[in-house]
Amino acid sequence: MTEPVRSCAVCRSALERDEAVRIVLDPEGAPAIDWRGKLPGRGASCCHSKACLQALSKRGALSRAFKQEVSAPSEDWPMPELLEHSRKRQRELIGLASRAGELKSGGNVVERLLGKGWVDYLVKSSDVGPSVASQWNERATRGSLQLLASLLDSQQLGGALGKEAPRSVLGVRRGPLARSLLQELKRGQALI
């Protein structure tokens, strides 16, 4: 049985359920993000792209989707909520993946694991310097790996791992938590 396809309220592109941000109306008629995608009632979907999410509150897309007058709670809604939610999810998933043995941190450790073929993709902190970012980008290219940017800075990455010291790069290998983290990192990148 195939899952129904949704269309973005802004660009009209076809979306799978887990690719979409679902918006519902609260009892007062204000739009709210349905984080789990399970709230009752009519919902509107939007791509996980910055352009569509920013246009959601500006072009009457919500009013058109809900077939009634709908005003966004603020001019920049829903971006701040989505960014904070993505940061929180990244923190949680990084901690869980580390405890499950699917993630290692620290430049020397990740470098050694790259040589052993242990790493499936790399994650860099949001505040990594240009020279360090360039070095890791080169290593990722050499190893045919993705290098994704986290929404978390190096101090927050360290905190997510339960470390006091900052971490600017993570090496991640295949596993269920690594898949969820990869999806959340891509969503976060689409928001910046």
Mean pLDDT within 5-32: 91
Domains 6-77 and 81-191 share a fold: no
SS3 assignment, position 20: strand
DSSP type of residue 8: B
Cβ proximity of 178 and 152 under 8 Å: no
Average pLDDT over residues 142-169: 96
Specify the pLDDT at position 192.
Answer: 87
What's the whole-number mean pLDDT along residues 133-149? 96
What percent of the chain shows pLDDT beyond 90? 78
| Rounded mean pLDDT, 176-189 | 96
- Asked whether residue 37 carries a pLDDT value surpassing 90, the answer given is no
Q: Which alpha helices (H) appear in 17-78, and where do they start and end?
A: 50-56, 61-66
> Alpha-carbon distance 188 to 22, whole Å?
16
Mean pLDDT, residues 34-51 taken together: 90
Q: What is the pLDDT of residues 63-121, one digit of tens each?
A: 999 999 998 888 889 999 999 999 999 999 999 999 999 999 999 999 999 999 999 99
The domain segmentation of the chain, as residue ranges, is 6-77, 81-191
Statement: residue 153 has pLDDT above 80: yes
Residue 1: pLDDT band (50, 70, 90) is low
Is 3.30.1330.30 the CATH classification of the domain at 81-191? yes
CATH class of the 6-77 domain in this structure? alpha beta
